[in-house]
Amino acid sequence: MGYDVIVVGARVAGAATALLLARQGLRVLAVDRATFPSDTLSSHQIQPPGVARLARWGLLDRLGDAPATPRVLFDSPAAVLDGAFPSGGAIHSPRRTVLDHALVQAAREAGAEVRERWRVEELVWERGAVAGIRGSSGGRQLLTERAPLVVGADGKRSFVAQAVGARAYRQRAPRSFASYTYWAGLPVTAGELHQRDGLAVAVFPTNRDLTMVYMSAPLAGFDAFRADAETGYLAALDRCGGDLGARVRAATRAERLRTTPDLPNHFREAHGPGWCLAGDAGVTMDPVSAQGIANALRDAEGLAGAVTAGLGGTRPLDAALAAHRRERDRALRPMYDFTLGLAMYHSGPVERLFMRALAERGEPAEVERMFGAFAGMTPVDEFFSARTALRLAAARLADGVNARLCTAPLAR
């Protein structure tokens, strides 16, 4: 059978791309060296824009029993903020075993062929363009599959990106390591984000009544941490507010601790003759801001639109992919820069000022705006801007004037 598109990698970016292309009637083959359902080294907070996409694609009810978290408690030395996301948005945190499998199943239902335990080892080239893949499915014999377009959705260490020599840009060395696991008997009423100097911690409920507790810290501390990861992990939680350390110690650890220092940051050139990249293969950012899954779903949607237009003849494929790449970079750049800042693990005076101003105002709509920016619902650089600072300062001034008017003795 001939295919219109081959997708390498079938987790969030790959399975979503395959699903959307198949729904447009394209003949799609997706391959992954993994089998599904399976876990991958990743926590799994899906930001509200990603959740909205899953809802639009009719997949929200396939995420099992992971509760939605519409409220967040943000705890930093400058301020403690408790609030909701704008427009009733919520973070969902299904395990990757659940989410990735749901996407693979949906892609199959849409007509895509998904082959598991299929490792791509070479790309097929014809007249200077990628024309297919060569790989194996457990056996020694190499199999060849052909298509006019190969999508590399094969993660941050993308084989496809390396094989085509996709140029990396805005690349920054890893700044963090991360460590997380799952706890039984640790109920939470909201998601929790804790920030301390040299530390970030996230707490979110997930499937099977478990709560994921994730910490990350500067990479420089990784060697010392891994010498006794369990002690280091709990000591980190002890530094957070709200007795987090004590609450976790009173709970039961349900799974092993997963720890990684492999957290690169880069954009890659997104397309070339016969190939394009999706998800982490194209843009990878430190998970401290938990954007990768929502980014991958967003990328899948944009890419599928460009490919459908390009292969359907409504627009030259190259121009459609170039427009998609420009839009991807425009949309992700502010959050990428913000994420690199978070991965310094030290909030600057401006951020502290913002947090204090928000806490002092106690205005839920402003806190919502900030959570919306953290979640990628509104551009983060628009929130942390001189304009917001002025708005907060003006509101503070008005509060002060009102308070003085209210307490001033009435003139007779």
Ligand X SMILES: Cc1cc2nc3c(=O)[nH]c(=O)nc-3n(C[C@H](O)[C@H](O)[C@H](O)COP(=O)(O)OP(=O)(O)OC[C@H]3O[C@@H](n4cnc5c(N)ncnc54)[C@H](O)[C@@H]3O)c2cc1C
Q: Could you tell me if 61 and 102 are in contact, meaning their C-beta atoms sit under 8 angstroms apart?
A: no
Phi/psi of residue 126, nearest 5 degrees: -140, 125
Q: How far is the CB of 5 from ligand X (least distance, A)?
A: 15
Among 89, 205, 232, 287, binds ligand X (CB under 6 A): 287
Q: How far is the CB of 246 from ligand X (least distance, A)?
A: 24
Interface with ligand X in residues 45-104 (CB under 6 A)? 45
What is the CA 300 to chain-centroid distance, rounded?
13
Q: Which residues of 351-381 are buried (b: 16+ CB within 10 A; e: fewer)?
A: beebbebbbeeeeeebbbbbbbbbbbbbbbe
Q: How far is the CB of 397 from ligand X (least distance, A)?
A: 39
**Placement of tokens 């970016």 in the chain:** 13
Among 217, 237, 293, 306, binds ligand X (CB under 6 A): 293
- With contacts defined by CB under 6 A, name the span among 54-62, 122-130, 287-295, 398-406 that binds ligand X: 287-295
Site string for ligand X, 236-265 (x = CB under 6 A): ------------------------x--x--
Among 5, 6, 7, 13, binds ligand X (CB under 6 A): 13
Cβ proximity to ligand X, 118 vs 354, nearer residue: 118
Rounded-to-integer distance, Cα 293 and Cα 283, Å: 11
Among 33, 101, 194, 253, binds ligand X (CB under 6 A): 33
Q: Please name which of 345, 351, 348 lies closest in space to residue 389, comparing C-alpha atoms.
A: 351
Q: Could you tell me if 291 and 47 are in contact, meaning their C-beta atoms sit under 8 angstroms apart?
A: yes
Query: Is residue 391 within the footprint of ligand X (CB under 6 A)?
Result: no
Interface with ligand X in residues 170-199 (CB under 6 A)? 178
Token couple for 22: 């198949």
Q: Could you tell me if 48 and 130 are in contact, meaning their C-beta atoms sit under 8 angstroms apart?
A: no
Side chain identity, residue 84: A
Rounded-to-integer distance, Cα 404 and Cα 412, Å: 17
Query: Is residue 328 within the footprint of ligand X (CB under 6 A)?
Result: no
Query: Is residue 12 within the footprint of ligand X (CB under 6 A)?
Result: yes
Cβ proximity to ligand X, 202 vs 309, nearer residue: 202
Interface with ligand X in residues 336-375 (CB under 6 A)? none
Query: Is residue 205 within the footprint of ligand X (CB under 6 A)?
Result: no
- With contacts defined by CB under 6 A, name the span among 51-59, 151-159, 166-174, 322-330 that binds ligand X: 151-159
Cβ proximity to ligand X, 106 vs 281, nearer residue: 281
Count other C-beta atoms under 10 Å from residue 62's C-beta: 16
Q: How far is the CB of 236 from ligand X (least distance, A)?
A: 15
Burial class (CB within 10 angstroms; exposed 0-12, middle 13-18, buried 19+) of 58? exposed
Side chain identity, residue 234: L
Q: How far is the CB of 409 from ligand X (least distance, A)?
A: 55
Rounded-to-integer distance, Cα 54 and Cα 70, Å: 16
The residues that touch ligand X, with contacts defined as CB under 6 A, are: 8-9, 11-14, 31-34, 40-45, 119-120, 153-155, 159, 178, 260, 263, 279-281, 287, 290-294, 296
